[in-house]
Structure 1
Amino acid sequence: MANESNKTVKVRLVRGLRGTQARHRLSVKALGLNKLNDVRELKDSPQVRGLINQLHYLVRVED
């Protein structure tokens, strides 16, 4: 189980936030993404996966 807690996921903002819902803009900020093409390496957790699923049209998960 210790190995599972070390997993990370890279998330890149690939679309601009203009015209998106306010809740989605807040979710992008919660992921730590500010500008277009920003990349963050986040701990892989159900909360982060939920945000990624909500923002599927704005972000891309990278290996």
Structure 2
Amino acid sequence: MANKLKVTLVKSTIGAIPKHRATVTALGLKKTNSTVELPDNEAVRGMLWHVKHLVKVEEI
């Protein structure tokens, strides 16, 4: 596994269900095309799995 993950919000959360909006916000993503680096652990991977249709993930 990689040490960090680079996560980019590629699709808007306007039409998403509220739980997915909250997950994207908890990941630290605010606007479309915003990017954050997060630690690669099971908690973050689980959050990303739920919003995989909204984000792009790269291993660093």
Q: Which has the higher helix share?
A: 1
TM-score (norm 1): 0.87
Choose 1 or 2 for highest CA Rg. 1
Amino acid at match of 2:21: R
Q: Which has the higher contact order (CA 8 A, sep 6+)?
A: 2
Residue 37 of structure 1: aligned partner: 33
Aligned-partner SS, 2:47: helix
Q: CA RMSD in A?
A: 1.5
TM-score (norm 2): 0.91
User: Identity over the aligned pairs, expressed in percent?
Assistant: 41
Runs of 5+ unmatched residues, structure 1: none
Aligned residue-pair number: 59
Give runs of ≥4 in structure 1 deviating > 2 Å. none
